[in-house]
Amino acid sequence: MAEKNIVILISGRGSNLQVLLQAKLPCRIAAVVSNRADAGGLEIAQAHGVPTAVIDHRDYADRDSFDAALARLIDTFHPDFVVLAGFMRILSAGFVARYHGRLINIHPSLLPAYGGLNTHARALQDGVRIHGCTVHFVTADLDHGPIIIQAAVPVLCRDTEQTLAARVLHEEHRIYPQAIRWLCNDRIELRDDGRVIFRYRKQTSHALISPGLE
């Protein structure tokens, strides 16, 4: 099995990027690309010897022209997968179609609940007892692509947005490397009906009940 190439897109501090770089994934991280020159993740990538590039969305007249330029840059690295790690741009339908089945994102909620921004504040406002994060394939329907893996955490009575976010982020750092490892090892099949099927893996049943039963 040939080693896969991945390109990681970032916009900010690079928390999930750092975890991916440290995970010893069975792939070559060909480049880290940011739409912001001041993204902290660029320094993290450089410290790991990974090539970096910046393509500023403010230099383009509209989203489609930026996405076209971004795609041209990405394609110079010949990626098998394009991984979004805190990339804070909504991608056009054309860009998403170009990388169908190869474009991966992590989102801080249990999708399809709480797509978009401010997920932790919205979860607290609604009083949900279980929250979490999701790794999924990206489609033109924002934050509603086929789900690869999710992690759930309890929402505690005294949680603030910050404490809940920290608990979810801890799980993001666990499931994102796992998802990319599965992809690079050809353990996942994205079917035409949008379902994600696992090869060579037996799944077990576990329940998270919050608050716990007495």
Long-range contacts of 46-50 (CB under 8 A, 24+ apart): 48/21, 50/21
Is 127 strand, coil or helix?
Answer: coil
206 domain-assigned: no
Q: How many CB atoms lie within 10 A of CB 59?
A: 10
48 domain-assigned: yes
pLDDT at 69: 98
pLDDT at 114: 98
pLDDT at 203: 76
Per-residue pLDDT of the chain (214 residues; tens, 9 = 90+): 789 999 999 999 999 999 999 999 999 999 999 999 999 999 999 999 999 999 999 999 999 999 999 999 999 999 999 999 999 999 999 999 999 999 999 999 999 999 999 999 999 999 999 999 999 999 999 899 999 999 999 999 999 999 999 999 999 999 999 999 999 999 999 999 999 999 877 777 788 889 888 8
Closest CA to 181 of 7, 3, 21, 25: 25
107 is catalytic: yes
Instruction: Give the number of domains in the chain.
Output: 1
Q: What does DSSP say about strands 103-107 and 81-84: parallel, antiparallel, or unpaired?
A: parallel
69's tokens: 């330029």
pLDDT at 97: 97
Phi and psi torsions of 10, nearest 5°: -135, 165
Closest CA to 11 of 32, 30, 39: 39
155 domain-assigned: yes
Q: Which H or E run includes 82?
A: strand 81-84
pLDDT at 112: 97
Q: What CA–CA distances, in Å, run from 117 to 75, 106, 108, 131?
A: 29, 13, 9, 14
- Which residues touch 187 (CB under 8 Å, ≥6 apart)? 181, 198, 199, 200, 201
36 domain-assigned: yes
Rounded Cα gap, residues 212 and 188, in angstroms: 33
Residue 96 maps to which CATH number?
3.40.50.170
Q: Domain limits at 149?
A: 4-198
204 domain-assigned: no
> Which residues on adjacent β-strands are paired with residue 134?
107, 150
By the 8 A CB rule, do 67 and 40 touch? no
Q: Which residue out of 107, 131, 136, 173 is catalytically annotated?
A: 107
127 domain-assigned: yes
pLDDT at 98: 97
126's tokens: 């609604």
By the 8 A CB rule, do 13 and 86 touch? yes
pLDDT at 52: 98
> Which residues on adjacent β-strands are paired with residue 161?
none
